[in-house]
Amino acid sequence: MSLIFAIFLPIIIALVIPFLFKKVSNIHTGWFVLLVPLVLVFFYGTYIPTVMDGNTYIEELSWVPSLDISLVSYIDGLSLLFSLLITGIGALVVLYSIFYLDKEKEKLGNFYVYLLLFMSAMLGVVQSDHLISLYFFWELTSISSFLLIGYWYTKDRSRFGALKSMMITVFGGLMMLGGFVLLGIMGETFSIRELIDQAPILVGHEFFVWALVLVLIGAFTKSAQFPFYIWLPDAMEAPTPVSAYLHSATMVKAGLYLVARFTPIFALSEVWVWLVTGVGLLTLFWGSVFAVKQTDLKAILAFSTVSQLGLIMSLLGIGSISYHVTGTLVTTFTIATFAAIFHLMNHATFKGSLFMIAGIVDHETGTRDIRKLGGLMSLMPISFTIAMIGSFSMAGIPLFNGFLSKEMFLDATLSLQHFNVHSLESWWILFPTVAWIASVFTFVYSLYFVFHTFRGKHKPELLPKKAHEAPWGMLVSPSILAILVIVIFFVPNYFSSLFIKPAVAAIQPLAYQVPADIGFKIKAWHGFDSPALYMTLGVFLIGFILYKTIDKWAPVYERIPAKISLNRFYNGLMNLSDKGANRLSSSYMTGSIRSYLIYMFAALIILLALTMWIKNAFVMDLTNLAPIKFFEVLISLILIISTVTILVTKSRLTAIIALGAVGYTVALFYIIFKAPDLALTQLVIETVSVALFLGAFYHLPKMNKYEKGKEDRRFRLNNFLIALGVGIMVTLIAIASHSQKLVESISGYYKETVYSEAGGGNIVNVILVDYRGFDTLFEIGVLTIASLGIIGMITVQLAKKKGDRKVEDK
């Protein structure tokens, strides 16, 4: 199987899913879908042994050759790890969803199509080596996320959450596109690998910092970093399998992927180091503090995801310091990158299982409100065990993989003391402190999540359903993840050499040529002199005390004024732009065709006059004119008389007929000037349009909008000025174009080629169907749209008149 085909496999399968859902109703559609990630996970699995040794694979497919855009699938340690996460977690999530979503009640066709679309998009993001195709897949993940969040589209909250997530992530995506374009301009290539090679040159470029900031905005919005995180809690309206998959394990990690992937390019700038580390730590702190405030199980997990993403982000930031130091210090900081990838993997395991448990609790009790839950331990023992494993890992308690990476994180923040640049001096202590406080809150909400749900007093009267253990099928996926959580703790170095080291080597190409160069070993015990040990013990102690006294201090959250929240800002902004756009368009869309004609003609006059004035284009040359014949004078007279008749007549019928006369006289002109095609067309068009006018006659508004008076005079004056302007402009252009021939007329070319190349004799028609066939194609397209518009407009009018609303009957 080719790599590019593998990216598109889910989309291809998605094409047949709706038919399977319709035709094969006795088998849950999910079973068919499950095959896709299973096949892919084994496919990518075959790459592990060679990628471990530092090999990379690349495959290219030209997409838009004229713009040098191609689909490039690049497999190295980093993209392989992500691809395995996407397909592996994907398989577990699909399996889980088979039991979560009812095959009778839910629109599974839609659900799995969106999910497969996402899978393809996400694989595309992590494997693209070409910036533009990376952007394409990036936005595709936003769109599929939008569709999945809004899956239960009849719910207001779902629609709101879907729109919010799309607004914010697409905003970031567009910023990122700007950054990509700047990178493309600087490096004259869109290939990430080639840009990495040029990084030392790029860093001095004036656009460099701009590109850096723009790309980071893209990464921060996607990975729900402060202050863009606000979409993630609202995205929890999605079905739980989606939250587990997109909004915790994969899509939100796309931002982390982006930061990791661009580290070799941007890490040379200190702005990058401080932005990534700072925003990461702030997000970690903010998310963990506010997670404790939440009462919805999934909201707790959403804030915890925000905070954990911040943790990984800050680790990537600290890791990029290795580009600024020399000697043994390089290793000190690359360990942070190692920890980032390690925690990213661990987070996918424990958070995935926790989300699935939240879904199970919701499914089996009917509520996710933690205030109503409690005492489920004896009713749902397996779920409780899994939840405990996940939460303890999240809290960083030994025997679970979270402990290992959490301790490495604390170590990494401490290592900042070795980075002596600028006036950092004693300020470095701020970073470990913030990290430590955030860890305490992480500990608190982890315990809060599991114990407030499963321990305490059971309140069956508050639950919509009678609680019982979930069916085995729903428990399989979280169990697998929970087992992984424990297995990773005991054999971390096995996983490290399989996945983490190749990924770290891809992020830190300067420090490590091949994954085997990384000599670092993960240890659970660092000895008594390790400061991280005491920090961890402190976290457990303070965390436990805070958890026990949670009821005493939690009311503090209520004191935080709601007025200055980011959500309020977002809502205000949306409201404002909505209203503003409305006001703007209703200010000039008056609904009267007279106004629209005035806009159009005024624009015409202004544009033409300006061009003529700026280009100094008016020339009048009266030499070389043909003699005027009697017949021409006669027709001109008729033309003038009928035109004046239109203006002065009081009767509209007369005006229409006079207008027809103008048209027919123009046709006569065409005949004299030997343009039979134009004459024919003009003649028929005139006939048809007079008929049309007569048909519409009855419906036309009054000729004068106003009765006699001041307003009437102004109305007439406006019309007069517009008409005069158009007349003068057209005359000037006609004179000017006759008087100067800047370029040779194209008619010679037509004459020569019309028979030999186009195989026709009538130049006018061959122009229409061949030389400029594109124009004609679009013209008939426009005509069709216009006629459909007229039908719609009149049908609605008719329905309104009749007073019934059955527009569809017509």
List of residues contacting another protein (CB under 8 A):
676-677, 680-681, 684-685, 687-688, 691-692, 695-696, 698-699, 758-762, 764-766, 768-770, 773-774, 776-777, 780-781, 783-784, 786-788, 790-791, 794, 797-798
* Beta carbon of residue 758, minimum distance to another protein (angstroms, whole number): 7
Name, in order, each residue with C-beta under 8 angstroms of 82's C-beta and a sequence gap of 6 or more: 122, 126, 250, 253, 257
- Residue 142 identity: S
* Beta carbon of residue 695, minimum distance to another protein (angstroms, whole number): 4
Smaller CB distance to another protein: residue 157 or 772?
Answer: 772
* Beta carbon of residue 698, minimum distance to another protein (angstroms, whole number): 8
Smaller CB distance to another protein: residue 369 or 677?
Answer: 677
Smaller CB distance to another protein: residue 102 or 808?
Answer: 808
* Beta carbon of residue 14, minimum distance to another protein (angstroms, whole number): 25
Smaller CB distance to another protein: residue 597 or 696?
Answer: 696
- Residue 315 and residue 282 in contact, taking contact as beta carbons nearer than 8 Å: no
Smaller CB distance to another protein: residue 58 or 780?
Answer: 780
Angle (nearest 5°) at CA 185 between 180 and 186:
95
Smaller CB distance to another protein: residue 549 or 765?
Answer: 765
* Beta carbon of residue 797, minimum distance to another protein (angstroms, whole number): 7
* Beta carbon of residue 632, minimum distance to another protein (angstroms, whole number): 22
Angle (deg, nearest 10), helices 381-395 and 472-490: 30
* Beta carbon of residue 754, minimum distance to another protein (angstroms, whole number): 10
CA atoms of 440 and 539, how far apart (whole Å): 5
Q: Is 178 helix (H, G, I), strand (E, B) or coil?
A: helix
CA atoms of 251 and 721, how far apart (whole Å): 59
Exposure of 157 in the CB half-sphere (CA atoms within 13 A): 8
Which pair of tokens denotes residue 634?
């006669």
CA atoms of 2 and 73, how far apart (whole Å): 10
Smaller CB distance to another protein: residue 704 or 797?
Answer: 797
Residue 629 has phi, psi (to 5 degrees) of: -100, 160
Listed residue (194, 409, 415, 193) closest to 321, CA to CA: 415
Name, in order, each residue with C-beta under 8 angstroms of 186's C-beta and a sequence gap of 6 or more: 202, 205, 207, 208, 211
- Residue 115 identity: L
Listed residue (205, 172, 173, 175) closest to 188, CA to CA: 205
Angle (nearest 5°) at CA 647 between 643 and 650:
125
- Residue 646 and residue 627 in contact, taking contact as beta carbons nearer than 8 Å: no
Smaller CB distance to another protein: residue 201 or 780?
Answer: 780
* Beta carbon of residue 120, minimum distance to another protein (angstroms, whole number): 25
Which pair of tokens denotes residue 30?
């999910």
* Beta carbon of residue 795, minimum distance to another protein (angstroms, whole number): 8
Smaller CB distance to another protein: residue 331 or 753?
Answer: 753
Helices (H) and strands (E) in the chain, counts: 34, 2
Name, in order, each residue with C-beta under 8 angstroms of 543's C-beta and a sequence gap of 6 or more: 395, 439, 440, 441, 443, 444, 447
* Beta carbon of residue 675, minimum distance to another protein (angstroms, whole number): 9
Smaller CB distance to another protein: residue 64 or 688?
Answer: 688
* Beta carbon of residue 677, minimum distance to another protein (angstroms, whole number): 5
Name, in order, each residue with C-beta under 8 angstroms of 25's C-beta and a sequence gap of 6 or more: 103
* Beta carbon of residue 781, minimum distance to another protein (angstroms, whole number): 7
Which pair of tokens denotes residue 407?
């301790």
Name, in order, each residue with C-beta under 8 angstroms of 553's C-beta and a sequence gap of 6 or more: 546
Smaller CB distance to another protein: residue 201 or 790?
Answer: 790
Listed residue (108, 140, 144) closest to 34, CA to CA: 108
Give 773-777's long-range contacts (Cβ < 8 A, gap of 24+). none
* Beta carbon of residue 672, minimum distance to another protein (angstroms, whole number): 15
Listed residue (185, 165, 180) closest to 266, CA to CA: 180
Smaller CB distance to another protein: residue 197 or 770?
Answer: 770
* Beta carbon of residue 776, minimum distance to another protein (angstroms, whole number): 6
Place of tokens 């059955």: 806
Smaller CB distance to another protein: residue 584 or 777?
Answer: 777
Smaller CB distance to another protein: residue 566 or 684?
Answer: 684
CA atoms of 653 and 644, how far apart (whole Å): 15
Smaller CB distance to another protein: residue 645 or 795?
Answer: 795
Q: Is 397 helix (H, G, I), strand (E, B) or coil?
A: coil
* Beta carbon of residue 273, minimum distance to another protein (angstroms, whole number): 50
- Residue 639 and residue 662 in contact, taking contact as beta carbons nearer than 8 Å: yes
Cβ neighbours, 10 Å, residue 375: 15
Beta strand ranges found along 69-195 (DSSP E)? 69-75
* Beta carbon of residue 213, minimum distance to another protein (angstroms, whole number): 40
Smaller CB distance to another protein: residue 177 or 655?
Answer: 655
Distance, CA of 71 to chain centre: 19
- Residue 146 identity: F
Smaller CB distance to another protein: residue 45 or 760?
Answer: 760
* Beta carbon of residue 605, minimum distance to another protein (angstroms, whole number): 28
* Beta carbon of residue 2, minimum distance to another protein (angstroms, whole number): 22
CA atoms of 397 and 212, how far apart (whole Å): 37
User: CA-CA distances (angstroms) from residue 284 to 163, 213, 436?
Assistant: 25, 20, 10
- What DSSP string describes 733-755? HHHHHHH---S--THHHHHHHHH
- What DSSP string describes 533-599? HHHHHHHHHHHHHHHHTHHHHTTHHHHS-GGG-HHHHHHHHHHHHHHHHHHHHHHH--S-HHHHHHH
Smaller CB distance to another protein: residue 629 or 802?
Answer: 802
